C-alpha cells in the first residue's frame, strides 16, 4: 500500500512531464496497441466471454496490462533515489575516500554517480533509461526489472491470441493452387457468427500488433536477462566498467594485487535480496552498503579515485579496425551487438578504419568514448562523443611516453 501511495502522490506536478518524451510515448503506445488488440481479437473472434476459458483468458489479459503498467509507472515516478543535496558522510574522515560533486555540492555516496540528464547524483546508478525517462537505480531497480519480465510474458500471451485469431478466422478462406495461396476475405461477410466480421482491416491490425508483440518480446526479454545477470552479481553497468578498468590498471603496472568486487555477497540469493524484497522496499538506505568481509568499506570508491588520478586508465585508447555507420542497432555487427544496443539517448558515433577512440565506459558489446579528430596529440583536441560497437575497435598498445618509462617506475605507480 505504501508503494501504491508513493506512485499516486507525486512530490510535485513536474513529475508528470516525464510522460512528455518520446520514450514513454512509444512504450505506452506499444502496451496500449498490444493489450487492446489482444482483448478485441479474443472477445470477438477467438475466445468469446460467454465461455469459461474465454472469461479466464480475458481476466489474464487485463492482469498482464495492470501489472505491466503498475511496475512501469513505479519505475518512472518513484525514481532511483537521489543523494541529498549537500550530503557528506557522518564520519568526516571518510570524505577522503569519496569524490565530490560540484553540481550537487555534495560528496558522492558509495555506488552513486552523477547523471547529466537528471542533473543529480543517483544512488546505485545503473543507467539512464529513455523508455521511462528516468534513471534506473536504488529505489526503482526492482520495479524496472519486473517490468522487463512482465512485458515479454504479456506479449507472448498476446501473440498467441493474434496467431490463433488469424488461424481460426482464415482457415476456411484459404485456397491453395499449384503456385499460389489465396485468401478470400469476402467470406467474412457470409459468416453469421461474429458480431463484427473479421475483414481486411482487422487482419492488418492484428498482423501489425503481432509484429509489435514479437519485437517487444525479443528486445525487452534480452534486457531482462542482462539486468538479472548484473543483479545476481550485485553489480551495475557502471560498476562493471570500473571493474574492467581496475583489472587493466593492475595488469599494466604489474601490481601485486587482485581487485575483488566488494559488493558481491558471495551468494546469488543474497545478491538477489539486495534488490527484491517482500515489502517492495530495497534493503538499506542507498547511501551505505554492506561489503565482503575481506574488503574495505570504500574499496570501489578508492579504486575510482585511483583511476581518476591515473590519466592512462581514466580513458582507454582504442584503434578502429572496422567501419561503423553510426546506426542505433547495426545488423552487420553481430546478433548480440544488435540486441544489446544501449537504451540511452546518448548518440552513436560514426567510425572509419584507422581512427582512434578514447573509451571512458562500456558494456559487454558496446563502448562509450571520444573520437579523436586530430591524432597529433591526445590531450586538448576536438572530439566527438558517443557509443560504438566493441567489435569495431581493438585496444591500442601502450603510448610511447608510458612505454619509455623505467620498469621499476611502472611497478611503483
Where in the chain do CATH 2.30.30.40 domains reside? 315-375+382-395
Question: How far, CA to CA in Å, does 67 sit from each of 19, 62, 132, 332?
Answer: 18, 9, 16, 36
pLDDT at 63: 96
pLDDT at 184: 52
pLDDT at 383: 67
pLDDT at 200: 86
Question: Rg (Cα) of the chain, in Å, rounded?
Answer: 26
pLDDT string in tens for the chain (413-residue length): 454 454 444 454 667 888 989 999 999 999 999 999 999 999 888 888 888 888 999 999 999 999 999 999 999 999 999 999 999 999 889 999 999 999 999 999 999 999 988 999 999 999 999 999 999 999 999 999 999 999 999 999 999 999 999 888 877 665 445 555 555 545 444 445 567 777 888 899 999 999 999 999 999 999 999 899 999 999 998 998 888 888 888 887 888 888 899 999 989 999 999 999 988 888 889 999 999 988 888 999 988 888 877 755 556 789 999 999 998 888 888 888 888 888 777 889 999 998 988 888 888 889 988 887 764 444 444 568 899 999 999 988 754 334 333 344 344 44
Active site residues: 129
pLDDT in tens, 306-336: 887 775 555 678 999 999 999 888 888 888 8
Residues whose CB is less than 8 angstroms from the CB of residue 147 and which lie 6 or more positions away in sequence, other chains included = 68, 71, 72, 74, 75
Within a 10 A sphere around the Cβ of 182, how many other Cβ atoms?
A: 10
Do residues 46 and 61 make contact, with C-beta atoms less than 8 angstroms apart? no
From 124, 88, 324, 142, select the one nearest 238 (Cα to Cα). Answer: 124
pTM: 0.80
pLDDT at 7: 44
Residue 107 in grid coordinates: 560528496
Greatest Cα pair distance, the chain, in angstroms, is: 89
pLDDT at 57: 93
Q: Which CATH class is domain 315-375+382-395?
A: mainly beta
pLDDT at 312: 56
Residue 412 in grid coordinates: 611503483
pLDDT at 204: 93
- Give dist(CA 135, CA 138) in Å, integer: 10
3 state SS for the chain:
CHHHHHHHCCCCHHHHHHHCCHHHHHHHHHHHHHHHHHHHHHHHHHCCCCCHHHHHHHHHHHHHHHHHHHHHHHHHHHCCCECCCCCCCCCHHHHHHCCEECCCCEECCCCCEEECCCCEEECCCCEEECCCCEEECCCCHHHHHHHHHHHHHHHHHHHHHHHHHHHHHHHHHEEECCCCEEECCCHHHHCCCCCCCCCHHHHHHHHHHHHHHHHHHHHHHHHHHHHHHHHHCCCCHHHHHHHHHHHHHHHHHCCCCCCCCCCCCCCHHHHHHCCCCCCCCCCCCCCCCCCCCCCCCCHHHHHHHHHHHCHHHHCEEEEECCCECCCCCCHHHCHHHHHCCCCCCCCECCECCCCEEEEEEECCCEEEEEEECCCCCCCCCCEEEEEEEHHHEEECCCCHHHHCCCHHHHHHC
pLDDT at 376: 44
Residue 298 in grid coordinates: 570504500
pLDDT at 8: 45
pLDDT at 174: 56
Amino acid at each position: 500500500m505504501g508503494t501504491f501511495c508513493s506512485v499516486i502522490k507525486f512530490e510535485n506536478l513536474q513529475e508528470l512531464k516525464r510522460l512528455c518524451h518520446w520514450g514513454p510515448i512509444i512504450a505506452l503506445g506499444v502496451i496500449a496497441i498490444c493489450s487492446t488488440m489482444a482483448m478485441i481479437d479474443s472477445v470477438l473472434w477467438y475466445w468469446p466471454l460467454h465461455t469459461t476459458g474465454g472469461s479466464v483468458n480475458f481476466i489474464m489479459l487485463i492482469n498482464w496490462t495492470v501489472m505491466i503498467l503498475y511496475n512501469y509507472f513505479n519505475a518512472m515516478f518513484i525514481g532511483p533515489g537521489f543523494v541529498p543535496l549537500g550530503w557528506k558522510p557522518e564520519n568526516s574522515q571518510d570524505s577522503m575516500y569519496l569524490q565530490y560533486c560540484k553540481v550537487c555540492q555534495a560528496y558522492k555516496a558509495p555506488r552513486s554517480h552523477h547523471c547529466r540528464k537528471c542533473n543529480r547524483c543517483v544512488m546505485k546508478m545503473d543507467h539512464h533509461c529513455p523508455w521511462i525517462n528516468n534513471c534506473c537505480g536504488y529505489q526503482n531497480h526492482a520495479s524496472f526489472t519486473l517490468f522487463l519480465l512482465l512485458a515479454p510474458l504479456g506479449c507472448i500471451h498476446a501473440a498467441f491470441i493474434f496467431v490463433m485469431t488469424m488461424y481460426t478466422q482464415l482457415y476456411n478462406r484459404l485456397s491453395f493452387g499449384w503456385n499460389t495461396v489465396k485468401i478470400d476475405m469476402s467470406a467474412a461477410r457470409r459468416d453469421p457468427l461474429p458480431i463484427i466480421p473479421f475483414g481486411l482491416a482487422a487482419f492488418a491490425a492484428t498482423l501489425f500488433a503481432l509484429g509489435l508483440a514479437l519485437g517487444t518480446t525479443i528486445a525487452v526479454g534480452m534486457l531482462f536477462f542482462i539486468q538479472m545477470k548484473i543483479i545476481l552479481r550485485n553489480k551495475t553497468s557502471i560498476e562493471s566498467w570500473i571493474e574492467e578498468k581496475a583489472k587493466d590498471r593492475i595488469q599494466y603496472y604489474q601490481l601485486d594485487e587482485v581487485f575483488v568486487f566488494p559488493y558481491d555477497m558471495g551468494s546469488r540469493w543474497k545478491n538477489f535480496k539486495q534488490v527484491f524484497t517482500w515489502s517492495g522496499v530495497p534493503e538499506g538506505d542507498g547511501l551505505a552498503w554492506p561489503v565482503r568481509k575481506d574488503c574495505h568499506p570504500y574499496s570501489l570508491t578508492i579504486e575510482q579515485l585511483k583511476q581518476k588520478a591515473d590519466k592512462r586508465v581514466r580513458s582507454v585508447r582504442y584503434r578502429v579496425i572496422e567501419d561503423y555507420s553510426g546506426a542505433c542497432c547495426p545488423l552487420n555487427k553481430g546478433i548480440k551487438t544488435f540486441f544489446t544496443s544501449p537504451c540511452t539517448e546518448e548518440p552513436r558515433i560514426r567510425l572509419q578504419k584507422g581512427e582512434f577512440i578514447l573509451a571512458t565506459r562500456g558494456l559487454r558489446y558496446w563502448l562509450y568514448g571520444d573520437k579523436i579528430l586530430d591524432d597529433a596529440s591526445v590531450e586538448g583536441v576536438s572530439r566527438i562523443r558517443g557509443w560504438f560497437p566493441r567489435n569495431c575497435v581493438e585496444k591500442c598498445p601502450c603510448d610511447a611516453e608510458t612505454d619509455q618509462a623505467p620498469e621499476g617506475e611502472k611497478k611503483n605507480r
